Structure 1
Amino acid sequence: MLRPGRDEDRDAFIRLIGEAWAEFPGIVFDVDAELPELHALASYFQEKGGAIWLAEGEGGPLGMVATRPLREDGAWEICRMYVDKAARGTGLAHRLLDTAEKHAAAHGAERMVLWTDTRFNAAHSFYEKRGYVRQGAIRILDDLSKSLEFRYAKPAQGLVVEALDAAAAASAERRFSEILVACVAAGASVSFLPPLAPEKSRAFWKRVSAEVAQGHVALLGAWLDGALVGTVQLQLATPENQQHRAEVVKMLVDPGFRRRGVGEALMRRAEQAALRLGRKLLTLDTRAGDDGERLYRKLGWNEGGHIPGYARDGAGQLFDTRFFYKTLG
């Protein structure tokens, strides 16, 4: 059962947090010295305009989560997200986070933010699956545990496209790898043949993250109602006599989220990003006759030519490729 938390749930909250922290050496759990709000946690979040929930089972508390508005315009924070060991892998974590995110969105949240200890690797993987990416510097806490925390964030609702820095790109590798595997399986012509092994896809995205860090690639991500569903890249490592140009590559939309404007939003934002970077000529190639070609023509791209039998599909059949360009500004 998942219900709103109460101050009377003090012992349940303390147990969940204490047992989770005890899984990691070096973490000091002193309620009175550092976490006195746990004695009346529901009131604490209510006073801040937020809310807290508790999941219970026959054996006692199974999980908790809270959310509250931040001073940043439109931002809400996910707080106190803990799941008992026995309930992990059951889907409870997703239910808890869904509840907090929906509450925040219903109260006008435009962005979700959370902080997580750098030691909580399993939590990082979970948040990354949910579309969160790392942002900003590591936070150093002046607490007994000498904690370091990562900041994760994502747009809360609507269709939003954002540029990703090196930290965000690295934290998006898992999700982008899933999208690439799904797109290749659906027949996308993006240099790979099906079936694309997840480890091969992940290795590709690790290389992309490194290129973002080196300034050779501008990487964009698209969120739809909080889910990370698409991406596109600008290849910036052009020859010295072509520094006015960039190549658009790997325009990918999760097959389950197509026909919802994601591809168009990615391409429009890529053009804006290119202009800001001083790149006024864009080029790309795509399989002749596919959805990408129709989108590029709709957005005013010009065909520069086509090559018959340029690449092979998953069945081994050769197909034609068209080349497009667009002058910006």
Structure 2
Amino acid sequence: MTPPIRPGRDEDAEGFIALIGACWSEYPGCVLDVDGEVPELRALATHFRAAGGALWAAGEGGRVVGMAATRPMHQDRAWEVCKVYVAKEARGSGLAHALLGAVEGHARAAGAERLVLWTDTRFDAAHRFYEKRGFVRQGSIRILDDLSNSLEFRYAKPLAGLQVEALDAAAAASAERQLTRLLVDCVADGGGPAWLPPLAPAVAQDHWRGISSGVALGKAVLLVAWLEGEVAGAVHLRLDLPENRPHVAELRTLMVAPPARRRGVGRALMRRAEQAARGMGRRILVLDARAGGAAEALVRAAGWTALGTIPGFELGADHAPHDTAFFWKALVP
């Protein structure tokens, strides 16, 4: 059962300090110096209230087993996620998801368009949790002048509406878990661009690792769509084409999560892919799509020119041959 969540109070100070201290003690070298480095823990509710934010605590019988906070950043309509901690015995209960859900709901109601957080590079479990919630790494590592010699990753994600972003190499690597699940779900739904169901997660993850490497080497561009804070689709551009085609890019692995279809995600991904290719000096895009399917309809609606169809070029989920249509589009500089 998930412990109850309530607004945090200044009177929770000892509980907050004990919880953070216990969590930090799981990692060698992490030192909690309350009065020297984080004196706001003595009156945390007042601290976040003064910043225009909010604080939550979870637990029963006076013991705090979970906490989370948020505050506006006053730039780019972003809010910062702060001090998310869950006691070891409460992990796996859904409490961390409930706490972050409270943060996201509060920030969204306040008009936030993006969430940002910083997390110590040693907190591997936290990284996996944030990545599961749709966050990706962004920007440089932050160096803190503290007793713990802390280095921190910056994570972020779009929160409101439909947003498509190009990921750098670090962000692409941190998105692999979410994109693996997306690809497995799309293949299971019959919409996989090159695989037959059931697709093993390890195979899907290897695919995205290859894309992340391509992004790092300048051989690929990865675009990911978020819909109301959830990863809803992806597409990538292959740039490493033969030497005599430096002006061409291939659009590949266009996917939209089954629950997010017919909500403009595919169109947004196609549009941003064309913008990205144009910005890199590519003048021609090519792709292939299952003939007669939703992808072909999307491509035609986006103004692509049909080259032709190869009968029985690919197998469907039923292992029967299906036709594949090939398209191209000229990009105006």
2:299 to 296, 299, 302: 296
Letter of the 1:43 counterpart: T
Contact preservation (8 Å) 1:220, 1:266:
yes
SS at match of 2:59: strand
Equivalence map 1:1-329=2 (5 Å): 1-58=4-61, 60-329=63-332
1:36-70 deviations in Å (ceiling 9; x for gaps): 11000000111111110001134721200000011
Alpha-carbon contact 1:189-1:287 (below 8 Å) kept: no
Q: Is the 8 A contact 2:183 2:192 kept in 1?
A: no
Secondary structure at the residue paired with 1:3? strand
- Write the letter of the residue equivalent to 2:134: G
**1:15: Cα distance to partner?**
1.2
CA distance in 2, matches of 1:104, 1:59: 27
Consecutive unaligned residues of structure 2, counting only runs of 5 or more, are none
Shift of 1:101: 1.0
Root mean square deviation of aligned Cα: 1.0
Q: Which amino acid aligns with 1:190?
A: P
What is the aligned residue count? 329
Amino acid of the structure 1 residue aligned with 2:92? G
Which secondary structure state, in structure 1, belongs to the residue aligned with residue 64 of structure 2? Answer: strand
**1:146-192 superposed Cα distances (whole Å, 9 cap, x missing partner):** 01100000111110001000000000000000000000111124111
Instruction: Give, in whole Å, the separation in 1 of the partners of 2:277 and 2:294.
Output: 23
Divergent runs of 4+, >6 A = none
Give the TM-score of the pair, scaled to structure 2: 0.97
Aligned-partner residue type, residue 244 of structure 2: N
TM-score in terms of structure 1 length: 0.98
* Stretches of structure 1 lacking an aligned partner (at least 5 in a row): none
SS of 1:274's partner is: helix
Letter in 1 for 2:175: A
